C-alpha cells in the first residue's frame, strides 16, 4: 500500500463528537487532507447548482433534446413473447414505407424475455419510425417459460438457460434455474461475511427469531428514457447519450466498431436520471446504442434512438426481487450470537445483485454468521445495479428480522441495535435521530394507538462502502481576465457534481463557485469516473482540488512580486490575494491573472491514490413515522429522518437533496412499486408510469436530512459518497414503523392496502403477530 | 390532477385523435393554414400529409408544417425547437410535458397540435430566461428544487399555474396542485419550499 515518496500527515478526523488523530500517507504531490480543524470558506456551504438556471427555463439540453441537421428517428421492435425461437423477421413492408432510410435486425435465434431487441428502423420522423416498426413482421415459435421467482425454483420449471449458457459465476453450483450458493461477493464479503459457527451461535442463543421476507422487483423508472443520438463523419463517431459513464460508452463503441478511441467522442451534458440503469454502453437488456450507430452508418445520416416508456420498463434493468429467510439468535441481554441469512434473488435473464452484505457486515462483532445467496433466472428483463445494489432488499429482510427479535426480547429496537453496534460514525446517529423523530412517542405496545388511524415509529440501519475510481484527472484554466474554467469528464447524473467541483476549486482559489465555469460530460475532457456506487464526488473532487491548487500556486507566483511577498505567504479569499500576516497588502485575483504570459494558465492534475481513512464502510440510519388506517389498509408515511455522514459534505444544499431523494425512492418501493408480470403470457402488465405507481407529491411526507459533523480522510477532501447508504435502510424503517403502528408484521413489499388488510385479518384470526 | 384541455366551447378547429382517424379514412387532404383564420370551423378533413399550422406560442405566432396526427408536445419539441417540455410517459401520467393552454396547465402529449390552434400556448421557455428568471424559476434555483432536472420544466409550469390560481397556497394545496407531476430523483419537499418562496416573493 505505502509507496516510496509517500507523505505523512496527522489529521483530526472521525465523528466530530469523538474525533481521532489519524496518521495518513498520501502519495507524493497530494495535498494535506481537509480535516475537522480546517477552516473552510466555501466547502460545507449551501450553493445552488450552477446549471439550475438552464434547467428551470427548459434550456438545459438532454440527449432527448438533441436535434442535428438531417437527423433520422429510430424505433426498435421488441419481442412480445417471453420465450421462443425467432423463425423469421420480414422487414420488407417497413423498408417500402416512404421516409424509411435504414433497418436493422437481430442475429439472435432465441427469445428469453418479452422486450428483447428484435429489429429497428430509422425514418425521417418520430411518427414514421413508429409506423415502420409496426410493419416489421416477425414470426416466433413460442416455448415454455417461467416468470415468477417461486415457480422458477421448482424442479420441473422450464429452463431459462440451457446448461452452461447462464451468466452465472463459473464456480457456482447450478440446479435448474437456481445458481448458488454463490461465492463470496465482491462487495461486503471482505468486510464481514460468513464467519464462525452458526450452530454454536444458535446453541448459545436464549432467543431465536426466524422468518421469511419478500421484496418485489423495482424498476428504475428514470424520467429521461435511455437513448442516443449518433452521427458519423467518415470514420469519426460522435454520440450524445444519456449515460452514467461517457468514457465507458466510448470504450465500448470503439471496440464494437474497431475504431481507435480518439475517433469516438461521447457527450452527456445533462442527463435525466440513471440510478444504476445507465451503467452499460446501451442498457443491460438492449443493444440500442450500437443499433443506432449501425443505422446511422447505413443511412449516412445522424440517428436519434430514444426508448419509449414501455421499452424503458422492459429492457433497461431493474432491482431484483428477493426471497429471504433470516434466522437470528441473541442472548437475553440483546447480544447477537448468530446470523443465518439465505436469499434467492430474481435476476430475470441476468445476474442478480447480492443481498447478503447488510446481514454480514453491519453488526461486525457478531461472531457467527452464515450467508447463503442464490440467483434465480426467470424469463424477464435482466436486473442491473440500482442505488446500492442488493442492499435495500437485504436490509429489509435483515433489519425487519432484527426488529422482530428485539420485540421477542422485549427490548427497545433502538437499544437492541445500539448494543450490537461498533461503527464509530453510526454511534452518533442514535440520539440525534431519536430526538428528531421523537422516538419517545412510539407505541410501547405495538398497535397501541386507539381508533382506526394508528400511528407508529420505526428505524433501521443501512450500509455501503467507500468506493473510488483513482484514474481520473481535472484541468483548471485561469484566463488573463481572471475568469476560471474547470474541465472534467464525469457526467452530472443529478447529484450536482458540476457545482461540487466548482465549490472545491473556489475554496482553493478564493473565489465564489459561480465564478467558475465547469464543463463536464464529454470524453474530450480529462477522464472522469463512471458514476455508480457513490464514487463521483470522492473520485473527482480530489483531482479538481489538485488542479485548482496548482492554478493557485501559479497565480500566487504572479501576485507575489506585486505584494513584495513570497508566494507561499499569500492567501486567497473573496476574489483577493493578500499577505496572510498583513491582509491590507492585497491585489485582486484578476489583477494577478493579468500578469500572466500568454492568454491562459492551464493546470492539469491526476487524482492521487486513495489513502487511509477512518472507515471503509459507510453507515446510514433511517427513522420513519407512519399512520396506518386499519379500516382501509392505507399507509401514509408522515415523516422520515435520515442520519448520515459523508465525511466532508462539499455542498450541503445538494447533499441534503440526495438524502431526501433516497427517502422518497425508498418509501416509493416500500409502499407502491411492483413490476407485475402476467404469468400466463409473460409480459409486463404495468410498463408505464400510472399502473407502475411511483410516489408523487400527494403522497409526500416531511423529509428531514441530517448530516452529522465528521471527516473520513482517504483523499484530500475527506469526503465520501452518500447517495447509497441512506437508501438502504428505508424499506425496513417503514415496515418497522408499520409494525409499531399496528402490532402486525408485514413481511412482503410493497405494503399495499390489500396486503395490510389481509395481514390484519390474519392476525385477528390466528391471534399472532 | 388530470390535465385535460378545458372544454371551453370555443369555436376554433378541434380535431380529436378519434375524429382524425375517421377523417383519414376518407382519404381527403386539407389545404389552408390552420389557425390563421379564426372563425366557425366546419368538420374539415385534414391530412394525412403535413399541413401548415399557426400556433400562438409564448406571445408570438409561429407557423409550421406538421402532420395532423402530431401531438402538441412533438410539434413543440421536433418542429419548433422548444425542448423544455419533456417526453417522458407519453400518456399524461407524469406531467413532464406540462404547458399552459390559455393559462391552464395541460399535458402537451395528450393534445394534437392542430387542436392548439387559436389558443395561447405558454411553455417553460416563455416564462423566463436564465438571465431573467420568473419568481417561480428563481425560487426553484435558490431552494435547489431539482436534481437531474428532467421533471423541472413541468413542475415550474405547473407551479406557475398553481400560483396564478392560488397566490398563497397551503402545503396541502401545493401537493394537490402538483399531484399530476412526478419526480424520480425525489425533490418534492424542495419543490414545495420553492413554491412557498415564490408565493412570498410574488406578494
Same domain, B86 and B139: no
> Per the structure block, which three cell numbers stand in for A240?
450524445
What pLDDT is recorded for position B18?
Answer: 43
Which of B110, B113, B189 has the most A C-beta neighbours within 10 Å, making it the best mutation to test the interface with A? Answer: B189
User: Which pLDDT score, from 0 to 100, does residue B45 have?
Assistant: 80
Residues A212 and A323 in one domain: yes
Spatial CA neighbour of A496 closest among A55, A93, A39, A50: A50
* Subunit contact A59:B148, Cβ cutoff 8 A: no
- Asked if residue A367 is part of any domain, the answer here is yes
Q: Is there a single domain that holds both residue A326 and residue A287?
A: no
Q: Which of A591, A482, A539 is nearest to A720 (CA)?
A: A539
Identify whether B12 is part of a domain: no
pLDDT at res. A27: 97
Domain edge (last residue) among B84, B105, B124: B124
Same domain, A545 and A591: yes
Q: What is the DSSP secondary-structure string of A203-245?
A: HH-SEEEEEEEEE--EE---SS-SEEEEEEETTEEEEEE--S-
pLDDT on residue A353: 84
Q: B7 pLDDT exceeds 60?
A: no
Hey, of B124, B145, B149, which one would you mutate to test binding to chain A, going by the most A CBs within 10 A of its CB? Answer: B149
Q: In angstroms, rounded to a whole number, what is the distance separating the alpha carbons of residues A483 and A590?
A: 8
Residue among A526, A537, A470, A462 nearest A498 (CA) = A537
> CA A553 to CA A547: how far, in whole Å?
10
Residue B24 has pLDDT above 80, yes or no: no
Read off the pLDDT of each residue in A346-368 and give the average, rounded to a whole number: 93
Q: What is the per-residue pLDDT for A168?
A: 78
Q: In which band, very low, low, confident or very high, does the pLDDT at A253 lie, cut at 50, 70 and 90?
A: very high
Chain B residue with minimal CA distance to A640?
B189
Residue by residue, DSSP assigns A64-104 as GG---TT-EEEEEEE-SSSSEEEEEEE-HHHHHSTTEEEEE
CATH of the domain at A116: 3.30.365.10
Residue B93 lies in a domain: yes
pLDDT score, position B44: 72
Within a domain: residue A713?
Answer: yes
Residue A4 pLDDT grade (very low, low, confident, very high; cuts 50, 70, 90): confident
- Beta strands A710-711 and B60-66 are unpaired
More confident site: B203 or B159:
B159
- Stretch A405-429: mean pLDDT, rounded? 96
Whether residue A750 lies inside any domain: the answer is yes
Domain boundary residue among B84, B100, B124?
Answer: B124
pLDDT of residue A164: 83
Residue B26: pLDDT above 70?
no
Place of cell 445507465: A278
Query: pLDDT band for position A191 (50/70/90)?
Result: low
The whole-angstrom distance between A546's CA and the closest CA on chain B is 27
Say what the pLDDT of residue B118 is: 95
Neighbours of B51 (CB within 10 A): 20
CATH code at B195? 1.10.150.120
What mean pLDDT do residues B105-122 have?
97
Beta carbons of A497 and A651 less than 8 angstroms apart: no
Instruction: Give first-to-last CA distance, chain A, whole Å.
Output: 52
φ, ψ for residue A537 (rounded to 5)? -60, -40
Which residues lie across from A150 on neighbouring strands?
Answer: none
Q: Which three cell numbers stand for residue B189?
A: 419537499
Our count of domains for chain B comes to 2
- Is a pLDDT exceeding 60 seen at residue A746? yes
Q: Quick one: pLDDT at residue A263? A: 98
Half-sphere exposure of B159 (CA within 13 A, CB side): 32
Residues B153 and B82 in one domain: no
B-chain CB neighbours of A692 within 8 Å are none
Please report which helix (H) or strand (E) contains residue A57, including its range: none
Q: Which residue has the higher pLDDT, A6 or A625?
A: A625
Cα four-point dihedral sign A331, A335, A338, A340: positive
Average pLDDT of B82-103?
97
**Which residues of chain A does B137 touch, with a Cβ-Cβ cutoff of 8 Å?**
53, 56-57
CA B147 to chain A, closest CA, distance in angstroms equals 4
Average pLDDT value over all residues in chain A: 96
In a domain, A41, yes or no: no
Residue B130 lies in a domain: no
Helix (H) or strand (E) holding B55: strand B51-57
Nearest CB neighbour to A49, from listed B94, B124, B144: B144
What is the CATH classification number for the domain harbouring B88?
A: 3.10.20.30
Residue in A46, A50, A54, A58 to test binding to B, most B beta-carbons within 10 Å: A58
Higher per-residue pLDDT: A716 or A191? A716
The residue range of the domain holding B168 is: 135-202
Alpha-carbon span A390 to A371, nearest angstrom: 14
* pLDDT beyond 80 at B38: no
Are residues B71 and B48 located together in one domain of the fold? yes
Q: Do A688 and B89 touch (CB under 8 A)?
A: yes
Contact B137 A56 (CB under 8 A): yes
Are B86 and A64 a contacting pair at CB < 8 A?
Answer: yes
Arithmetic mean of pLDDT, A407-431: 96
Q: Which domain holds residue A543?
A: 467-486+493-609
Q: Give the number of domains in chain A.
A: 4
Q: Report the alpha-carbon distance of residue A520 to residue B136 in Å, rounded.
A: 27
By the 8 A CB rule, do A381 and A314 touch? yes
Q: How many C-beta atoms lie closer than 10 Å to residue B166's C-beta?
A: 15
* Model pTM score: 0.95
pLDDT over threshold 60, residue A102: yes
The reply to whether A418 and A326 lie within a common domain is yes
Q: B88 vs A224: CB contact, 8 Å cut-off?
A: yes
Residue A658 confidence (pLDDT): 96
The alpha carbon of residue B75 is apart from the nearest alpha carbon of chain A, in Å, by: 11
Q: Is B66 inside a domain boundary?
A: yes
Rounded CA-CA distance A625/A403 in Å is 15
Q: Which of A609-618, A662-671, B31-40 has the lowest mean pLDDT?
A: B31-40
Q: Flag whether A213 is in a domain.
A: yes
Contacts of A223 in chain B (CB under 8 A): 86, 88, 94, 96, 148, 150-151, 182-184
The closest of A589, A599, A493, A595 to A548, measured between CA atoms, is A589
Residue of B nearest to A311 (CA): B89
pLDDT band at A357 (very low <50, low <70, confident <90, very high): very high
pLDDT of residue B39: 46
Q: Are B147 and A270 a contacting pair at CB < 8 A? A: no
What does the pLDDT read at residue A187?
Answer: 56
Proportion of chain A above pLDDT 70, given as a percent: 98
For residue B67, list chain A residues with Cβ-Cβ distance below 8 A: 125, 127
Q: Which three cell numbers stand for residue A62?
A: 438532454
Judgement on whether residues A297 and A273 belong to the same structural domain of the protein: yes
- Give the Cα separation of A84 and A78 in Å (integer): 13
- Give residue-wise pLDDT tens across range A524-575: 999 999 999 999 999 999 999 999 999 999 999 999 999 999 999 999 999 9
Rounded to whole angstroms, how far apart are CA atoms A619 and A426?
6
Q: Tell me, what DSSP letter sits at residue A189?
A: G
**Contact between residue A394 and residue A461 where contact means Cβ atoms under 8 Å apart:** no
**In a shared domain, residues A416 and A541:** no
Interface contact A60-B149, CB threshold 8 A: yes
pLDDT the model gives residue B99: 98
> Which among B87, B130, B176 has the least Cβ separation from residue A59?
B130
Closest Cα to residue A152, out of A670, A677, A669? A677
User: Closest residue of B to A669, CA-based?
Assistant: B184
- Whether the CA torsion A513, B184, A187, A707 is positive or negative: it is positive
CA distance A507 to chain B (A): 21
**Cβ contact, residue pair B142, A665, below 8 Å:** no
Instruction: Give domain status of residue A547, yes or no.
Output: yes
Strands A117-123 and A100-105, sheet pairing:
antiparallel
In a domain? residue A46: no
- Tell which residue, A608, A603, A617, has the closest CA to residue A645: A617
* DSSP reduced 3-state for A35: coil
Chains A, B: CB contacts under 8 A, how many? Answer: 184
Place of cell 392505507: A634
For the four alpha carbons of A573, A578, A579 and A584, in that order, the dihedral sign comes to: negative
C-alpha distances in Å from residue A499, one per residue of A46, A516, A539: 10, 9, 15
Answer with the one of A583, A609, A635 that is the final residue of a domain. A609
How would you classify residue B90: left for phi > 0, otherwise alpha for psi between -120 and 50, otherwise beta? left
- Residue A37 resides in a domain: no
Amino acid at each position: 500500500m505505502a509507496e516510496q515518496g509517500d507523505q505523512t500527515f496527522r489529521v483530526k478526523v472521525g465523528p466530530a463528537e469523538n474525533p481521532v488523530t489519524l496518521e495518513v500517507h498520501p502519495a507524493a504531490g497530494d495535498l494535506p487532507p481537509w480535516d475537522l480543524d480546517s477552516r473552510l470558506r466555501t466547502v460545507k456551504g449551501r450553493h445552488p447548482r450552477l446549471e439550475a438556471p438552464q434547467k428551470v427555463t427548459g434550456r438545459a439540453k438532454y440527449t432527448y433534446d438533441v436535434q442535428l441537421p438531417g437527423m433520422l428517428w429510430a424505433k426498435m421492435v421488441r419481442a412480445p413473447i417471453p420465450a421462443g425461437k425467432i423463425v423469421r423477421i420480414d422487414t420488407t413492408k417497413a423498408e417500402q414505407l416512404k421516409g424509411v432510410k435504414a433497418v436493422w435486425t437481430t442475429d439472435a435465434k432465441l427469445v428469453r424475455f418479452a422486450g428483447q431487441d428484435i429489429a429497428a428502423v430509422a425514418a425521417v420522423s418520430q411518427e414514421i419510425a413508429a409506423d415502420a416498426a409496426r410493419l416489421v413482421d416477425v414470426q416466433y415459435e413460442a416455448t415454455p417459460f417461467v416468470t415468477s421467482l417461486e415457480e422458477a425454483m421448482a424442479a420441473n420449471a422450464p429452463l431459462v438457460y440451457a446448461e452452461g449458457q447462464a451468466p452465472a459465476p463459473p464456480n457456482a453450483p447450478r440446479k435448474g434455474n437456481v445458481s448458488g450458493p454463490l461465492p463470496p461477493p465482491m462487495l461486503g464479503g471482505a468486510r464481514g461475511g460468513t464467519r464462525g459457527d452458526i450452530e454454536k451461535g444458535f446453541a448459545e442463543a436464549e432467543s431465536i427469531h426466524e422468518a421469511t421476507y419478500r421484496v418485489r422487483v423495482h424498476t428504475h423508472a428514470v424520467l429521461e428514457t435511455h437513448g442516443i443520438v449518433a452521427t458519423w463523419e467518415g470514420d469519426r463517431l460522435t454520440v450524445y447519450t444519456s449515460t452514467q459513464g461517457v468514457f465507458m460508452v466510448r470504450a465500448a463503441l470503439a471496440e464494437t466498431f474497431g475504431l481507435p478511441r480518439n475517433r469516438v467522442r461521447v457527450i452527456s451534458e445533462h442527463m435525466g436520471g440513471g440510478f444504476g440503469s445507465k451503467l452499460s454502453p446501451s442498457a443491460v437488456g438492449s443493444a440500442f446504442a450500437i443499433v443506432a450507430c449501425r443505422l446511422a452508418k447505413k443511412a449516412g445520416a445522424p440517428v436519434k434512438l430514444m426508448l419509449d416508456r414501455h421499452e424503458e420498463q422492459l429492457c433497461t434493468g431493474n432491482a431484483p426481487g428477493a426471497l429471504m429467510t433470516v434466522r437470528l439468535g441473541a442472548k437475553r441481554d440483546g447480544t447477537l450470537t448468530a446470523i443465518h441469512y439465505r436469499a434467492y434473488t430474481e435476476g430475470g435473464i441476468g445476474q442478480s445483485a447480492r443481498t447478503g452484505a447488510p446481514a454480514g457486515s453491519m453488526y461486525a462483532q457478531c461472531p457467527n454468521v452464515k450467508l447463503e445467496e442464490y440467483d434465480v433466472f426467470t424469463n424477464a428483463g435482466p436486473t442491473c445495479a440500482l442505488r446500492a445494489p442488493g442492499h435495500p432488499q437485504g436490509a429489509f429482510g435483515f433489519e425487519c428480522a432484527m426488529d422482530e427479535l428485539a420485540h421477542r426480547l422485549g427490548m427497545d429496537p433502538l437499544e437492541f441495535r445500539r448494543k450490537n453496534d461498533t461503527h464509530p460514525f453510526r454511534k452518533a446517529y442514535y440520539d440525534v435521530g431519536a430526538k428528531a423523530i421523537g422516538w419517545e412517542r412510539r407505541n410501547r405496545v405495538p398497535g397501541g394507538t386507539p381508533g382506526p388511524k394508528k400511528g407508529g415509529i420505526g428505524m433501521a440501519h443501512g450500509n455501503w462502502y467507500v468506493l473510488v475510481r483513482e484514474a481520473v484527472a481535472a484541468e483548471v484554466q485561469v484566463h488573463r481576465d481572471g475568469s476560471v474554467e474547470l474541465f472534467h469528464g464525469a457526467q452530472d447524473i443529478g447529484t450536482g457534481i458540476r457545482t461540487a467541483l466548482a465549490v472545491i476549486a473556489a475554496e482553493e482559489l478564493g473565489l465564489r463557485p459561480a465564478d467558475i465555469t465547469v464543463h463536464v460530460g464529454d470524453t474530450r475532457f480529462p477522464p472522469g469516473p463512471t458514476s455508480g456506487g457513490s464514487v463521483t464526488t470522492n473520485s473527482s473532487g480530489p483531482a479538481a482540488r489538485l488542479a485548482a491548487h496548482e492554478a493557485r500556486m501559479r497565480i500566487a507566483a504572479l501576485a507575489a512580486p506585486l505584494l513584495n511577498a513570497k508566494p507561499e505567504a499569500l492567501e486567497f479569499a473573496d476574489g483577493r490575494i493578500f499577505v496572510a500576516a498583513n491582509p491590507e497588502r492585497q491585489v485582486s485575483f484578476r489583477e494577478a491573472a493579468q500578469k500572466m504570459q500568454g492568454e491562459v494558465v492551464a493546470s492539469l492534475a491526476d487524482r492521487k491514490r486513495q489513502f487511509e481513512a477512518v472507515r471503509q464502510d459507510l453507515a446510514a440510519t433511517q427513522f420513519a413515522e407512519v399512520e396506518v388506517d386499519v379500516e382501509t389498509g392505507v399507509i401514509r408515511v408522515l415523516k422520515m429522518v435520515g442520519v448520515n455522514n459523508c465525511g466532508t459534505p462539499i455542498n450541503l444544499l445538494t447533499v441534503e437533496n440526495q438524502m431526501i431523494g433516497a427517502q422518497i425512492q425508498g418509501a416509493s418501493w416500500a409502499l407502491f412499486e411492483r413490476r407485475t408480470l402476467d404469468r400466463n403470457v409473460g409480459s409486463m402488465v404495468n410498463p408505464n408510469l400510472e399502473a407502475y405507481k411511483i410516489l408523487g407529491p400527494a403522497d409526500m411526507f416531511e423529509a428531514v436530512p441530517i448530516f452529522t459533523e465528521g471527516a473520513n480522510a482517504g483523499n484530500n477532501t475527506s469526503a465520501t459518497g452518500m447517495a447509497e447508504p441512506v437508501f438502504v435502510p428505508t424499506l425496513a424503517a417503514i415496515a418497522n414503523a408499520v409494525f409499531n403502528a399496528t402490532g402486525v408484521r408485514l413481511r412482503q413489499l410493497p405494503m399495499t392496502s390489500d396486503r395490510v388488510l389481509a395481514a390484519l385479518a390474519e392476525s385477528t384470526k390466528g391471534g399472532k403477530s | 390532477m388530470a390535465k385535460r384541455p378545458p372544454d371551453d366551447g370555443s369555436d376554433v378547429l378541434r380535431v380529436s385523435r378519434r375524429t382524425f382517424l375517421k377523417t383519414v379514412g376518407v382519404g381527403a387532404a386539407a389545404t389552408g393554414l390552420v389557425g390563421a383564420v379564426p372563425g366557425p370551423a366546419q368538420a374539415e378533413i385534414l391530412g394525412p400529409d403535413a399541413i401548415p399550422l399557426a400556433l400562438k406560442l409564448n406571445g408570438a405566432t409561429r407557423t409550421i408544417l406538421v402532420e395532423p396526427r402530431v401531438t402538441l408536445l412533438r410539434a413543440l419539441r421536433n418542429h419548433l425547437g422548444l425542448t423544455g417540455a419533456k417526453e417522458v410517459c407519453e400518456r399524461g401520467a407524469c406531467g413532464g410535458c406540462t404547458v399552459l393552454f390559455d393559462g391552464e396547465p395541460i399535458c402537451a402529449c395528450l393534445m394534437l397540435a392542430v387542436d392548439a390552434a387559436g389558443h395561447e400556448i405558454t411553455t417553460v421557455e416563455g416564462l423566463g430566461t436564465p438571465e431573467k428568471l420568473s419568481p417561480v424559476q428563481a425560487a426553484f434555483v435558490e431552494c435547489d428544487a431539482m436534481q437531474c432536472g428532467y421533471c423541472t420544466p413541468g413542475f415550474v409550469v405547473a407551479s406557475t399555474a398553481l400560483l396564478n390560481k392560488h397566490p398563497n397556497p397551503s402545503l396541502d394545496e401545493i401537493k394537490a396542485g402538483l399531484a399530476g407531476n412526478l419526480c424520480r430523483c425525489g425533490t418534492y419537499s424542495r419543490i414545495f419550499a420553492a413554491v412557498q418562496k415564490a408565493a412570498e416573493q410574488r406578494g
